[in-house]
Amino acid sequence: MLTRLPNRRLLEDRINLAIRHAHRSSQPLAIVFIDLDHFKQVNDTLGHAVGDELLIQVSQRMQDNLREDDTLARLGGDEFIALLTDIGGFSQATQIAQRLINAVSEAYYINQQSFRIGCSLGISLYPDDGNTAETLIQNADAAMYRAKREGRNTYRLYRSEMDLAAQHHLALESELRNTLETGEGLFMAYQPLIDRDTGQLISTEALVRWRHPTQGIIAPGDFIPLAERSGLILALGEQVIKLVLSDINAWQSAGCRIVPVAINLSATQFWQSNFVDDVTNKITASGIAPNLITFELTESILLNRQAKGIEILTRLSNFGCHIALDDFGTGYSSLSYLQHIPADSLKIDRSFIEGLNDEKRSSRPIVAAIGSMAHELGLTVVAEGVETNAQWQVLGNYAIDTLQGFYISQPLNAQAFSNHWLGLNVE
């Protein structure tokens, strides 16, 4: 046996066994049908020996990207099936599918020749798409054919009622992946933060935007969760840092008066083991003073791993960057940790600003309490999401230093922001 993988009979036994187990534990399982794209061409042009070697390498790569308890079987020819047990749901299955595609489509070197091959995957899930090995395989096969029809080197889910939403997400996901690869289509919008009393510009927050080829400008709320699920969030975070540094450089070369720029961090990005080194190296390489960069993170990022989180923040702070606690008041973390965090500012969540003039349940006591507590701790207090003059007026009564919101300005592209707020091209 060429690949030393289980055959179809053995696989069916294992699937039926896994179904019994999944039934008891109510953990879904997934069948992934994998078919190489244009394998026949490799065989015909490069010969069977190369074809055989390729199959061995393909199965090795797939196995390297599966977990120990998963089963990879070969049905014959260039068809494989992976049985994934104990998966959380369809999105975990699609993540693994994408990982397999990525691994298989890396270049191969066989007989001093380098070439690539793609693969098309179809996914069926127990219990949604069938409850016998036979039906699950059949449905995964059907989904695989759809992947072939719809462009190859991709995957499709069998699950039909999920199809529309899922297909839409998948399309968006692969477009986002392209955007991140080419580095085109993402840009930053900048929203000013002003002094509550003087109206002077204090700093700005960088908010990512995606200029989609057909859907116009997409807000982060519509693609960051997708980026999180698909693992693209790291590439996105890197791109954001690059864009912000290059915008600051451009403003500086144009002779603008610069204020600190806040960058939002995702949990995945923050907990990357080389995050601090990576980001401080990038800032150093850009020639931009570290105190022009603020990192914004929500309190929930630190939840469960406070000591380690504080260590990371301390390194950033010692490097010279500012730290802001975002969406404050919405998490559930204890207040006691606040005094240990080397934060410079605290942003009261928009929902409390929205509720300031709520007649029944005004959020004023909360805003008052957060404001004075933060001041006691030596933090600058920001009210975000200020949309009306009435809110601004009320905020005058509390310990608030800085305001941000549509009432002051919408987020603007780099050019518009520097024109309006950094004193460039002032008429």
Q: Which residues bind ligand C2E (CB under 6 A)?
A: 191, 207-208, 219-221, 224, 240, 264-266, 326-327, 350, 385-387, 405-406, 411
Closest to Ca ion by CB, 163 vs 327, is 327
| 292-311 as b/e: b if 16+ CB within 10 A | bbbbbbbbebbeeebeebbe
* Strand 380-384 relative to strand 322-328, pairing: unpaired
- Tell me the number of residues near Ca ion by CB under 5 A: 4
SS3 category, 228 = helix
Site string for Ca ion, 317-356 (x = CB under 5 A): ---------xx-----------------------------
Closest to ligand C2E by CB, 224 vs 400, is 224
Q: What does the block give as tokens for 184?
A: 């085109």
| Residue with nearest beta carbon to ligand C2E | 405
Say how far apart CA 171 and CA 151 lie, in whole Å.
Answer: 11
In one letter, which amino acid is 29? L
Closest to ligand C2E by CB, 47 vs 183, is 183
Closest to ligand C2E by CB, 221 vs 396, is 221
Q: Which of residues 50-89 bind Ca ion (CB under 5 A)?
A: none
∠ Cα 336 337 341 (to 5°): 135
In one letter, which amino acid is 176? L
Binding segment toward Ca ion, per CB under 5 A, in 57-65, 107-115, 231-239, 296-304: 296-304
What is Dmax (Cα atoms) for the chain? 80
- State the binding partner of 411 from Ca ion, ligand C2E, none, CB within 5 to 8 A by kind: ligand C2E
Binding segment toward Ca ion, per CB under 5 A, in 1-9, 55-63, 260-268, 273-281: 260-268
Closest to Ca ion by CB, 120 vs 264, is 264
DSSP string, 339-365: GGS--SEEEE-HHHHHGGG-SSS-SHH
Say how far apart CA 121 and CA 68 lie, in whole Å.
Answer: 20
Q: Closest approach of Cβ 72 to Ca ion, in Å?
A: 43
Cβ(146)–Cβ(123) below 8 Å: no
Closest to ligand C2E by CB, 260 vs 411, is 411
Q: Closest approach of Cβ 195 to ligand C2E, in Å?
A: 17
∠ Cα 275 280 283 (to 5°): 130
Closest to ligand C2E by CB, 117 vs 224, is 224
Q: Closest approach of Cβ 353 to ligand C2E, in Å?
A: 8
3-state helix, strand, coil in the chain (%, to 5): 50, 20, 30
Q: Closest approach of Cβ 328 to Ca ion, in Å?
A: 8
- CB within 8 Å of 268: residues ≥ 6 apart: 228, 233, 234, 237
Q: Closest approach of Cβ 128 to ligand C2E, in Å?
A: 32
Assess 264 for contact with Ca ion (CB under 5 A): yes
Q: In 3D, which of 359, 378, 291, 374 has the Cα closest to residue 329?
A: 374
- State the binding partner of 157 from Ca ion, ligand C2E, none, CB within 5 to 8 A by kind: none
C-beta atoms surrounding 280 within 10 Å: 18
Cβ(29)–Cβ(19) below 8 Å: yes
Closest to ligand C2E by CB, 224 vs 341, is 224
Binding residues for Ca ion, rule: CB under 5 A, are 264, 296, 326-327
